[in-house]
Structure formats: C-alpha cells, structure tokens
Amino acid sequence: MPPAALAANPVPAGPTLREDVLAGLSARPRRLPSKYFYDARGSALFEAITRQPEYYLTRVELALLHARMPAIAAAVGADAHVVEYGSGSGLKTERLLAGLRAPLAYTPVEISPAALEACVARLRPRFPGVAMLPLQADFTRPLQLPRPPRAPARTLVFFPGSTLGNFVEAEAVRLLAAMRETIGRDGRALVGIDLVKDPALVEAAYNDAAGVTAEFTLNLLVRLNRELAADFDLSGFAHDARYVPQRERIETRLVSLRPQRVHVADLAFDFAEGEAIEVEYSHKYTDRGFSALAARAGLEVVDGWGGEPEGFGLRLLRQAAR
C-alpha cells in the first residue's frame, strides 16, 4: 500500500525521545514513558507476553469476543465504520470485523505509517468488502476520520486490550473525551477494561515465570543504549511489577541493583542501590469506577460483556445526554 493511501490528521509535534528520556531521568521519582517500549523487538516481545500462561488478559478478551459476538453485533448494528486505536496483532480486530453485521469501513489509527501499512496488508485480503482507511494520527485527540465510500450508520471506536489502564486518571479522562468527539452523537465505543481481582493473579500476569515481561521491560534500556548512546548495564537493573491495592493498579519499575552511574546522550545520571525508574502503570477497574471515569468525559456505559467470573470486561459506551 503506497504512503499516499494513508489519510493523515496533523500529528502534533511533541517531545522527542531524547527530551522525554532526559526529563524523565532528571525527575524525582525517575520515570520513562511506556510508549517507548514498542520498538520492533519490544513489539515482538509484547506479542510473546500475550501467549504466556499467566497473562490472562488477551486470552479472556478473545474468548469474550468469540462467545459474545452476536450480542455485540446486535448492540452495534449494521454498516458501522470501525475505528481502532492502535492495531496490534490483528487477532481481536479479525474477530470483531468477522462478527459485526456488514461493517462498512475499518480505520486503524497509528502514528507510525509502517504499522498502518502492515495492519492493512494483513486484513485487506481477509475482508475484501470492507473499505480499509488507515489514519496516521494521535488517537488521544479528536480525529477527523477518512470518509467511507458511503455514509456509515455509526462510528464504532474499538479500544481493546485494557490499554486505557496505562493512562493515569486525568490522561484517561482526556482520552475518553477525545473518543466522545470522535464517535459523535450516534456512535459507540467498545473498550476493554481489566477488572479488580485477586492481586496474586494480577501480579503473576506481569511477572511470568519465563521472564518474557522482564525482558520486555529491560528492552527499553537496550533501545536507549542504541538510540541515545546510553550505557545502561542490563545486569545492573531488574524488572519489578507490583500491585498497589490503594491505587488499584500494577506499578512497573526498573530497579537499580547497585550504586552506579549511567550516561545518556552525554549526560551522567547517578543511581543509588534500590532506586527505581517508573516505566508503566496498569490500572484495574470496578464497573462503578469505570462508569464514573467515563461520566467525567461525557460518556455513559450502555452495555457490557464479561465481569467478575472472567476478570475482564468489554464495555460499550455512547455520548451521555447533556
């Protein structure tokens, strides 16, 4: 697919990797944005994480999409324009598009043109009757969607995988508010949320026995060594992911195992033994808490599938009456 086939919203200029990293390492506590996990190796490692026996999220969500698809399709209706925030491996997208009633168009939203091209190349042969309209944009902002060949009955934003949980509360509200504008008055949003459950099950999902998640987290330092001329010694840092009940979230950190000095882009950073770099949050929700979060963004939950037995839910949202 040639680049000219990509629709594009202006992607706002933001901080560069160098600026983000230097600012985050200078802060207290130190922090690195989780979005930088996903270089080519990081993306491959994340797909491997989803196949680990402890990582229930992908398995349960796929099962929900299989078992509850007739009800989801009835709630969404025919001739939808499906807009997916991030494209991932495409397994969930395939189940959704295959199960909906005559979906009219599909728009994956990514900042990376390469990711968009790969997504469409994967799905176009499977769904020749669905217009593929990739959009290069930042999905945390309201989107100007590509126009399908004919008017859709409604827009359906698809945001699976509990990615919403990676945003702190204020960021999540802003993202949901942007989603509200994107779907419009008659639209819907299908959002995956990981539910509050036994902390031991949650912690196991982020500390798999095979060590894939630890390798994924440490790969962030590999990327900084490669792209910012850093000299992180991977043997000097350890993956640490713990559930914090008071905040109902997993907090993932890279912990320094000894006093050490690290150079990044010609600047030096000293770490004490036990000092941590915060790299990711993964919030878990109750239905009451999620409904309240959505309400702050002008959305309301109108249907849902999955609950306490599954430990994961798909929730259907629409604009709340003002």
Looking up tokens 């990081």 gives 42
CA 1 – CA 49 distance, rounded (Å):
29
CA 107 – CA 121 distance, rounded (Å):
13
Residue 71 corresponds to which tokens in the numbers above?
Answer: 């009800």
CA 157 to chain centre: 13
* Three-state DSSP state, 160: coil
Kindly report, residue by residue over 293-315, the tens digit of the pLDDT. 999 999 999 999 999 889 999 99
Q: Please determine, for residue 4, whether its predicted confidence score (pLDDT) is greater than 60.
A: no
CA 192 – CA 158 distance, rounded (Å):
9
Residue ranges with strand state E in 206-294: 237-244, 249-256, 260-264, 267-271, 276-283
Residues 6+ apart with CB under 8 A from 305: 64, 68, 71, 72, 313, 314
pLDDT at position 175 = 96
CA 229 to chain centre: 28
Residue 98: strand pairing partners: none
Its pTM stands at: 0.91
Backbone dihedral region for residue 53 (phi beyond 0: left; psi -120 to 50: alpha; all else: beta): alpha
Looking up tokens 């994961």 gives 312
Q: Please determine, for residue 120, whether its predicted confidence score (pLDDT) is greater than 70.
A: yes
* ∠ Cα 199 243 303 (to 5°): 65
Mean pLDDT to the nearest integer, 26-30: 96
Q: Which domains, and CATH codes, for the chain?
A: 30-53+199-283 (no CATH), 68-136+149-197+285-319 (3.40.50.150)
Mean pLDDT to the nearest integer, 1-26: 72
Sign of CA dihedral 187, 303, 107, 129: negative
Looking up tokens 């985050």 gives 24
Q: Please tell me which residue, 8 or 1, carries the higher pLDDT value.
A: 8
* Three-state DSSP state, 104: coil
Q: What's at 56, amino acid-wise? A: Y
Of 47-51, 75-79, 117-121, the range with the highest mean pLDDT is 75-79
* ∠ Cα 161 164 166 (to 5°): 100
Dihedral angle, C-alpha 35, 55, 99, 147, nearest 10 °: 0
pLDDT at position 87 = 75
Please say whether the beta carbons of 230 and 264 come within 8 A: yes
Please say whether the beta carbons of 291 and 215 come within 8 A: no
Kindly report, residue by residue over 146-193, the tens digit of the pLDDT. 999 999 999 999 999 899 999 999 999 999 999 999 999 999 999 999
pLDDT at position 5 = 60
